[in-house]
Amino acid sequence: MMNNRVTEVFGIEYPVISGGMVWCSGWQLASAVSNAGGLGLIGAGSMYPDVLREHICKCKSSTDKPFGVNVPLISKYSDELMKVIIEEKVPVVFTSAGNPKTWTSRLHDEGIKVAHVVASTKFALKCQEAGVDAIVAEGFEAGGHNGREETTTMVLVPQVRKHIDIPLIAAGGIATGRAMLAAFALGAEGVQVGTRFALTTESSASDGFKQMCIGLGEGDTMLALKKLVPTRLIKNDFYREVEEAENRGASVEEIVDILGSGRAKRGIFEGDLSAGELEIGQVACLIDDIPTAKEVVDDIIREYNEGIHLLCNSGLSK
């Protein structure tokens, strides 16, 4: 067990939080992470309100530990999703892609803890002003939607730490205990892990997507869709179509037309590895297996503790 401000705020055993990833983070993954001592998040970005309610109810029946829901505030269903969250008395909400002031006070009135995901110090300060309980500083190594600043985790975390005094969670490129130790050395008090949990047995992503991801090498993911929302994607046929359009200066309207609807579901959930939108982080190149969520949490904590022991006995601490 580890005690710090992040574990205290969320009532968890370890300061390890699973990312609320579309088409990966359903009730099975969220409850498994929570049961392992971390904080599991249901990814509501790909859910209708009734589907979210179903996942919340199943998560409640699968764990008696705290869990949460991630809500991208740009979702056209965000108000309805929040209504479901409040009605179901979910203990934790992670918000992203929007103004943290929109929901923080209302959620606090319902006794719900709130964290907000940012990609810059500017927005971290806005979060602190809004009264959130914790901030997630996510570097652009992360999979899926990213900040336009393209600031790496190693730069972003210490910069945000310097300007805020509330609990700080690092995200982006973190899949191991040693990466967690590095994030803590930079000022974080918790880590949010996406890609590593996306490639577990409990993830709802398709087997084809998982197998493709564990075979990726360095440079096999890139940021794309920069005229819309910068998104880290695997280089497949869909990515190359977007890249060609962006390189010739295609309009936002043309890129939206290429994207169409349901691309991420088609790729991540249904397993269309050619025409689907395949979102995953850079750190996938370090992953070559598909363990359980519990094994991931256990490995992160074990490696974190081993790293501390190694550093303390390396002579560098003298």
pLDDT of res. 261:
86
Would you say the C-alpha torsion 6, 11, 13, 17 has a positive or negative sign?
negative
CB 263 within 8 A of CB 277: yes
pLDDT of res. 78:
95
Percent of the chain with pLDDT strictly greater than 90? 91
Lowest mean pLDDT among 40-44, 68-72, 148-152, 164-168: 148-152
User: Tell me, what DSSP letter sits at residue 272?
Assistant: -
pLDDT of res. 316:
54
Q: What span, in angstroms and rounded, lies between the C-alpha atoms of 114 and 97?
A: 14
Q: Residue 259 above 80 pLDDT? A: yes
Residue 53 Cα distances to 29, 89, 124, 278, angstroms: 16, 11, 30, 26
H or E element at residue 157:
helix 153-163
Strand pairing category for 134-138 and 113-118: parallel
Q: What span, in angstroms and rounded, lies between the C-alpha atoms of 49 and 81?
A: 5
138 burial type by CB count under 10 A (0-12 exposed, 13-18 middle, 19+ buried): buried
pLDDT confidence tier of residue 145, bands split at 50, 70 and 90: confident
| Whole-structure pTM value | 0.95
Percent of the chain with pLDDT strictly greater than 70? 99
pLDDT confidence tier of residue 49, bands split at 50, 70 and 90: very high
Tell me the average pLDDT across 279-294. 98
Q: Residue 232 above 90 pLDDT? A: yes
**For residue 225, which amino acid is it?**
L
CB 267 within 8 A of CB 7: no
Lowest mean pLDDT among 70-79, 158-167, 204-213: 70-79
Tell me the average pLDDT across 12-21. 97
pLDDT of res. 314:
77
Question: Among 90, 65, 82, 96, which residue's Cα sits nearest to residue 169?
Answer: 96
Tell me the average pLDDT across 299-307. 97
Tell me the average pLDDT across 156-174. 98
Residue 113 Cα distances to 25, 97, 239, 288, 295, angstroms: 19, 18, 37, 35, 27
Q: Residue 317 above 70 pLDDT? A: no
Q: Mean pLDDT for the chain?
A: 96
H or E element at residue 125:
helix 121-130
pLDDT of res. 11:
98
Q: What angle do CA 146, 89, 15 make, to 5 degrees?
A: 50
User: Tell me, what DSSP letter sits at residue 231?
Assistant: E
pLDDT confidence tier of residue 313, bands split at 50, 70 and 90: confident
Q: Residue 80 above 90 pLDDT? A: yes
pLDDT of res. 169:
98
CA dihedral 124, 141, 145, 11 (to 10 degrees): -60
pLDDT higher for 142 or 317? 142
pLDDT confidence tier of residue 315, bands split at 50, 70 and 90: low
